[in-house]
Amino acid sequence: MNVSLKLDKSVDGVEKPLFIRLRSKLQNGKWIESSIKTDLKLEVRHFRNNGISKSLPNYTSKIRVINTILEEVEGKIKAVLAAAE
């Protein structure tokens, strides 16, 4: 399972919503994807190389929110995988 950040550039306005994207490849070769909304909005210029630029105002507090969500998601994924074994 791949976990990454995704900025929804299709939304109008200067600030775009930030999502956590979960992707996985099935045994038949098809990819499945799901996104989790973070309630954070960023300008495109503050989102580079699938990450957040340190020039973002309130960088530390926003990165903490994202890391908290990522830790929860990864914990739940590990729990599901452990239960499947």
pLDDT in tens, 18-57: 999 989 888 899 999 999 999 899 999 999 888 899 998 8
- pLDDT at residue number 28: 93
Question: How far is Cα 3 from Cα 33, in angstroms, rounded to an integer?
Answer: 10
Say which DSSP state 29 is in. Answer: S
Residue 1: is its pLDDT beyond 80?
A: no
Quote the DSSP letter at residue 54: T
